[in-house]
Amino acid sequence: MATVAEPSALGAFVPSPFRVAARRQDTADTWTLTLEPGGDGFAVAPGQFVMVYAFGIGEVPISVSGPPERPGEPVVLTVRAVGAVTQAICASEPGAVLGLRGPLGNSWPVEQAAGGDVIVVGGGIGLAPLRPVVLHTLAHRGAFDAVAVLYGARTPRDLLYTVELESWRGELAVEVTVDAADPSWPGRVGVVPKLIAQADFRPEAVTAFVCGPEVMIHFTVEALRERGVPDERIYLSLERDMRCGVGLCGHCQLGPTLICRDGPVYTQAQVGSLMEVREL
């Protein structure tokens, strides 16, 4: 089971001030922001999210792509500008102040995966919530056996963390693919689930971490099952339609579960039957 880190009594409802220390554009519509806490800050487990408040505009849930291991360290967020709030967040220049409340949700069970193999499968901006898993395996490389990072995006221009992906190749098996290439792309072309058949891992000893569009998750799960990975060792971050972050509005309901309250990390065994119901 994924672990749950309880937020403080105020942390779930009251935003704390964080100042933008750095801002980098990753793609045409995606930016990575480094935020420094105005006070004590908080520690974030891999896979958790925070509610980010653009003052005077609103707030949205954002998965943390670079969690601090200790309170007081900067928080890294990778955000796609798709609405008024995320556009305001992405436009925040260094020195601007945003409000963060949390951390919220449960986390990837990276420590439980120690002693075995790890496969990280991300699609598009889904690599952002998975980046902490990769950083954890790099920081504790001796605790894991084979580690594979499989990542895909629609086009080369949509790929995140391109410099980091290359740097990870020294210690991890990294494969990157795109759905549609341009003349400058020298790499693989195709959907990311197709990479699983050739990935180096032991099905009986691997923990899989998956995040991306739901159609990509569906075919990734199928490919992992074909390799013999049990549903209990396939972890998914769903993040669908989260809004309030504390399970009050019901917007993120999936059958009997509220994703922002009970997730966003689930095993395939927990939600597989729900994901097969078209109406949900």
* CATH number of the domain where residue 138 is located: 3.40.50.80
In a domain, 246, yes or no: no
**DSSP per residue over the chain, as a string?**
---B-PPPTTTTTSPEEEEEEEEEEEETTEEEEEEEESSS-----TT-EEEEEETTTEEEEEEEEE--SSTTS-EEEEEE--SHHHHHHHT--TT-EEEEEEEESB---TTTTTTSEEEEEEEGGGHHHHHHHHHHHHHTGGG-S-EEEEEEESSGGG-S-HHHHHHHTTTSEEEEEESS--TT--SEES-GGGGGGG----GGGEEEEEES-HHHHHHHHHHHHHTT--GGGEEEE--TT--SSSSSS-TTEETTEEHHHH-SEEEHHHHHHHHT-TT-
In a domain, 181, yes or no: yes
Q: End of a domain among 104, 138, 171?
A: 104
pTM of the model: 0.93
pLDDT in 10s for each residue of the chain, 280 residues: 454 444 444 556 788 999 999 999 999 999 999 999 988 888 999 999 999 999 999 999 999 999 887 888 899 999 999 999 999 999 999 999 999 999 999 999 999 999 999 999 999 999 999 999 999 999 999 999 999 999 999 999 999 999 999 999 989 999 999 999 999 999 999 999 999 999 999 999 999 999 999 999 999 999 999 999 999 999 999 987 888 888 888 889 999 999 999 999 999 999 999 888 776 6
Same domain, yes or no: 20 and 90: yes
How many domains is the chain partitioned into structurally?
Answer: 2
Same domain, yes or no: 121 and 218: yes
Q: End of a domain among 43, 74, 104?
A: 104
In a domain, 223, yes or no: yes
Same domain, yes or no: 167 and 232: yes
Same domain, yes or no: 100 and 121: no
In a domain, 224, yes or no: yes
Q: End of a domain among 104, 131, 163?
A: 104
Same domain, yes or no: 122 and 185: yes
> In this predicted structure, what is the pLDDT of residue 239?
83
Same domain, yes or no: 128 and 196: yes
In a domain, 269, yes or no: no
Same domain, yes or no: 138 and 221: yes
> In this predicted structure, what is the pLDDT of residue 4?
43
In a domain, 62, yes or no: yes
Domain housing 50: 16-104
Residue pair 103/45 in contact (Cβ under 8 Å)? The answer is: yes
In a domain, 253, yes or no: no
Same domain, yes or no: 198 and 161: yes
Residue pair 134/128 in contact (Cβ under 8 Å)? The answer is: no
* Chain center to CA of 84: 22
In a domain, 256, yes or no: no
Same domain, yes or no: 92 and 43: yes
* CATH number of the domain where residue 82 is located: 2.40.30.10
> In this predicted structure, what is the pLDDT of residue 1?
46
